[in-house]
Amino acid sequence: MNTHASGPASPSIEVTRVADDQWQALEGDRVVGTGDLSHRSGGRAYVSIDAWHDAAFDRLARVMPAALPTPLHTVVDEDDHDLIARWRQAGFTPGRREGEYVVPTDPGVTGLGAAPVPEGVTVVPFGAAQGGPLRDLDRAVRDEVAAAGGWHTMPAEVVPLPPGVTVVDPAKYAVAVLDGRYVGMLRIAPVPRRPRIGLLAVRADVRRRGIARALLAEVLGSLHAAGIAGAWAEAQESNRAALSLLAEVGARRVGGNVELERR
């Protein structure tokens, strides 16, 4: 999270790199800010700052990028205009935007209760997917993303995994199968009170057949049966297909964020 508060500050703020991925801002012997570095999908580097006041933020925002290779990224709530402005002063430029949505689960609201499963497609519910074929599908989707637009087009939350590891817990996935081949997947993160749709992906050669809708119908229907009224989802503002699908099922936009980049 990137946060800061306004207020007077001494100019004598010293920033120290206390670990490969962490910095501290000291005002005398008092910690007045911290900075962090993380790496996400495709090797993208993200920085974040938590500072007590503007001077500490600005000092960290100058020192950290100077010690790191570019490009660098950060993510800010779309309504925090002051923080966006401070990152811009540090040389970061606003780029892609992601909307946050609440997706209803009631089939009577989503219209998915009567949605037909595409011919030849079988939807495997949570807990029943086979690990091997699921990992093959995950690798194939990642390769397609890399070949098409690169991981910079994917949600910022999609984090990288250790080399060779693609799917940690197959039980979190529902899968679409066509002609014996896994062709689509939907992952749910079991966040308390409102689960989060972490990833919905379909192989490029079988898109536009209703497979994504079939996966949503299965997953949202299961959540509704369990007494869960809604799920979280994110979509990049330029992803027209995702936005259209969210609109079709009655999703409500509740917020968003801006990703800024320094090259």
CATH code assigned at 211 = 3.40.630.30
Reported as a single tens digit per residue, the pLDDT across 80-126 is: 999 999 999 999 999 989 999 999 999 999 999 877 889 999 999 98
149 three-class SS: coil
25 within a domain of the structure (yes/no): yes
Examine the domain organization and report whether 73 and 104 are in the same domain: no
**Which of 37, 59, 91 is the C-terminal boundary of a domain?**
91
Question: Cβ atoms within 10 A of the Cβ of 146, count?
Answer: 14
How many domains are there within the chain? 2
Examine the domain organization and report whether 156 and 253 are in the same domain: yes
What is the pLDDT, as a whole number, of residue 163?
A: 53
CA distance 7 to 175: 52
Task: Compute the average pLDDT of residues 62-69.
Answer: 95
- Show the CA angle centred on residue 134, arms to residues 250 and 195, nearest 5°: 35
204 within a domain of the structure (yes/no): yes
pLDDT band of residue 157 (cuts 50, 70, 90) is very low
Examine the domain organization and report whether 217 and 146 are in the same domain: yes
Examine the domain organization and report whether 127 and 75 are in the same domain: no
Task: List the domain range (segments joined by +) for residue 18.
Answer: 13-91
What is the pLDDT, as a whole number, of residue 167?
A: 64
What is the pLDDT, as a whole number, of residue 162?
A: 54
Examine the domain organization and report whether 71 and 161 are in the same domain: no
CB 54 within 8 A of CB 4: yes
4 within a domain of the structure (yes/no): no
3 within a domain of the structure (yes/no): no
Reported as a single tens digit per residue, the pLDDT across 192-219 is: 678 999 889 999 999 989 999 999 999 9
pLDDT band of residue 127 (cuts 50, 70, 90) is confident
Omega cis (within 30) before 155: no
Residue 161 reports pLDDT greater than 70: no
